[in-house]
């Protein structure tokens, strides 16, 4: 080896060391070493529903909510926790949880893989409160980068799915009226799980041939009766059945899955990433909701895993403002079905964001999650 060549290799080795060290900030600007002065604020908000909302297990006219803001560098990121009471969170529990979140202890607000697991570890449960922080951080980061999240994730905003419009359990007259009001929607989602199931479907079929998805919300307890109902639904233009039986009745759901003529979608059976593998084989797909799964980042991971397992993906919501709906909508080009009508069901939406145009989820061309506070 000539001396020149040895000298060249030596210099190349040093350059390699520099290249390895540079991303860690040793040879680059020290911005990662500055203190993060991100502030977190939160305040309770009560969503007023346009109609009393009844499902198999409960009925209500309002939904407790918490708005979260993070602020740094003059940019505010918005997040939201929607907490239907039957899920166990409240404005008090969210306040207690959010009071323990200190974003300033993390040196870089972009390091979601450091920040979000640490927030998750503050206390078990509290998925909606955790989602509010996740959404606010995503909104802030997207605004700081000047890009909407669908773009950061490499998604095509033209590929958003149709969204269903939900018709709760009600009398025939109200169901008929709501079906007429929902004529812009190309899919209807019908709540089942009580003894009025056939009446609900037949009433809607008197009005329209629009495809129907159904959600029993764990309301069917007997697997033979559940199978008979699903076989009947399959003759009525129904696309799939969500959560036919209680999540504890795993063997019955598996039995039903082997025989069902319609796809079965897990909702209450699937909360977070670790649940996806558990329900593989007993459901054909999963319903992902930000308020169940702690936010956008975990939802993205759940979609990736569900796809790898060959499962269908539905994106759902609670009654929410356009804040959390717009956050979910950023992921929607990855979903087979969306049920993102939560903001349409409330009277006092605090945000302008993703909309529903001709029954299709429509993303605004704005950075972050795409919302403006009204
Ligand atoms: Mg459901």
What spacing in Å lies between the alpha carbon of 364 and ligand 1's midpoint?
A: 26
How far is it, in rounded angstroms, from Cα 350 to Cα 371? 10
The reply to whether 234 and 119 lie within a common domain is no
pLDDT of residue 34: 57
How far is it, in rounded angstroms, from Cα 242 to Cα 233? 12
263, 265, 331 from 222: Cα distances, Å: 18, 18, 35
How far is it, in rounded angstroms, from Cα 206 to Cα 202? 6
The reply to whether 242 and 344 lie within a common domain is yes
Token pair for 2: 């000539």
The reply to whether 130 and 167 lie within a common domain is no
- Closest of 43, 27, 115, 147 to residue 294, by C-alpha: 115
Token pair for 193: 């799980």
13, 34, 253, 341 from 315: Cα distances, Å: 50, 38, 21, 11
Q: Which of 111, 129, 146 is the last residue of a domain?
A: 146
In a domain, 20, yes or no: no
The pLDDT tens digits for 283-322 are 999 999 999 999 999 999 999 999 999 999 999 999 999 9
The reply to whether 310 and 347 lie within a common domain is yes
- Strand 238-242 to 212-215 pairing: parallel
Does residue 1 register a pLDDT over 60?
no
- Closest of 212, 269, 277 to residue 243, by C-alpha: 269
The pLDDT tens digits for 214-267 are 999 999 999 999 999 999 999 999 999 999 999 999 999 999 999 999 999 999
Q: Which of 111, 146, 181 is the last residue of a domain?
A: 146
What spacing in Å lies between the alpha carbon of 121 and ligand 1's midpoint?
A: 27
Q: What is the pTM of this model?
A: 0.89
The reply to whether 245 and 314 lie within a common domain is yes
Question: What residue numbers bound the domain in which 74 lies?
Answer: 39-146
Supply the CATH number for residue 274's domain.
Answer: 3.20.20.120
pLDDT of residue 21: 39
What spacing in Å lies between the alpha carbon of 155 and ligand 1's midpoint?
A: 26
In a domain, 248, yes or no: yes
What spacing in Å lies between the alpha carbon of 357 and ligand 1's midpoint?
A: 23
CB 78 within 8 A of CB 263: no
Angle between helix 296-308 and helix 127-145 axes, rounded to 10 deg: 100
Mean pLDDT of the chain: 91
What spacing in Å lies between the alpha carbon of 83 and ligand 1's midpoint?
A: 15
Longest dimension (CA), the chain: 93
In a domain, 331, yes or no: yes
The reply to whether 213 and 79 lie within a common domain is no
What spacing in Å lies between the alpha carbon of 243 and ligand 1's midpoint?
A: 6
What spacing in Å lies between the alpha carbon of 217 and ligand 1's midpoint?
A: 6
Count Cβ atoms within 10 A of the Cβ of residue 15 and give its class: 0-12 exposed, 13-18 middle, 19 or more buried: exposed
| Chain Cα centroid distance, residue 124 | 19
The reply to whether 313 and 170 lie within a common domain is yes
In a domain, 88, yes or no: yes
The pLDDT tens digits for 199-212 are 999 999 999 999 99
Q: Which residues of 345-373 are buried (b: 16+ CB within 10 A; e: fewer)?
A: bbeebbbbbbbbeebbbebbebbbbbbee
How far is it, in rounded angstroms, from Cα 262 to Cα 5? 70
Domain count, the chain: 2
Q: How confident is the model at residue 52 (pLDDT cuts 50, 70, 90)?
A: confident
In a domain, 174, yes or no: yes
In a domain, 232, yes or no: yes
What spacing in Å lies between the alpha carbon of 75 and ligand 1's midpoint?
A: 35
The reply to whether 238 and 356 lie within a common domain is yes
The reply to whether 123 and 158 lie within a common domain is no
In a domain, 21, yes or no: no
Half-sphere exposure of 311 (CA within 13 A, CB side): 26
- Closest of 78, 77, 83 to residue 63, by C-alpha: 83
Q: How confident is the model at residue 328 (pLDDT cuts 50, 70, 90)?
A: very high
85, 126, 131, 155, 187 from 334: Cα distances, Å: 29, 26, 19, 8, 18
What spacing in Å lies between the alpha carbon of 369 and ligand 1's midpoint?
A: 24
In a domain, 33, yes or no: no
């Amino acid at each position: 080896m000539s001396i020149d060549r040895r000298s060249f290799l030596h210099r190349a080795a040093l350059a390699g060391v520099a290249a390895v060290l540079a991303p860690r900030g040793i040879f680059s600007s020290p911005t990662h070493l500055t203190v993060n002065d991100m502030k977190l604020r939160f305040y309770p908000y009560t969503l007023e529903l346009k109609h009393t909302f009844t499902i198999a297990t409960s009925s209500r006219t309002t939904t407790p909510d918490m708005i979260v803001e993070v602020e740094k560098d003059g940019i505010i990121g918005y997040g939201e926790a929607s907490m239907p009471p039957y899920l166990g969170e409240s404005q008090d529990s969210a306040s207690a949880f959010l009071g323990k979140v200190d974003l300033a202890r993390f040196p870089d607000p972009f390091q979601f893989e450091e920040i979000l697991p640490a927030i998750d570890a503050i206390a078990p449960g509290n998925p909606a409160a955790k989602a509010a922080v996740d959404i606010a951080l995503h909104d802030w980061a997207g605004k700081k980068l000047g890009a909407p999240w669908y773009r950061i994730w490499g998604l095509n905003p033209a590929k958003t799915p149709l969204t269903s419009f939900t018709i709760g359990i009600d009398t025939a007259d109200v169901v008929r009226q709501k079906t007429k009001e929902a004529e812009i929607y190309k899919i209807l989602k019908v709540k089942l799980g009580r003894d009025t199931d056939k009446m609900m479907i037949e009433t809607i079929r008197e009005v329209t041939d629009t495809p129907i998805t159904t959600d029993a919300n764990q309301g069917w307890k007997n697997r033979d009766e559940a199978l008979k109902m699903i076989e009947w639904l399959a003759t009525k233009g129904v696309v799939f059945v969500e959560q036919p039986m209680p999540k504890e009745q795993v063997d019955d759901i598996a039995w039903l899955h082997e025989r069902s003529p319609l796809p079965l979608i897990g909702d209450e059976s699937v909360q977070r990433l670790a649940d996806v593998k558990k329900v593989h084989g007993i459901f054909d797909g999963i319903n992902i909701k930000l308020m169940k799964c702690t936010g956008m980042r975990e939802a993205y991971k759940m979609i990736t895993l569900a796809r790898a397992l060959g499962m269908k993906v539905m994106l759902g919501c609670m009654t929410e403002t356009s804040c959390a709906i717009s956050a979910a909508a950023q992921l929607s080009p990855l979903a087979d079905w969306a049920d993102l009508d939560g903001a349409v069901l409330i009277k006092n939406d605090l945000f302008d964001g993703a909309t529903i145009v001709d029954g299709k989820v429509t993303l605004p061309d704005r950075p972050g999650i795409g919302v403006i506070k009204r």
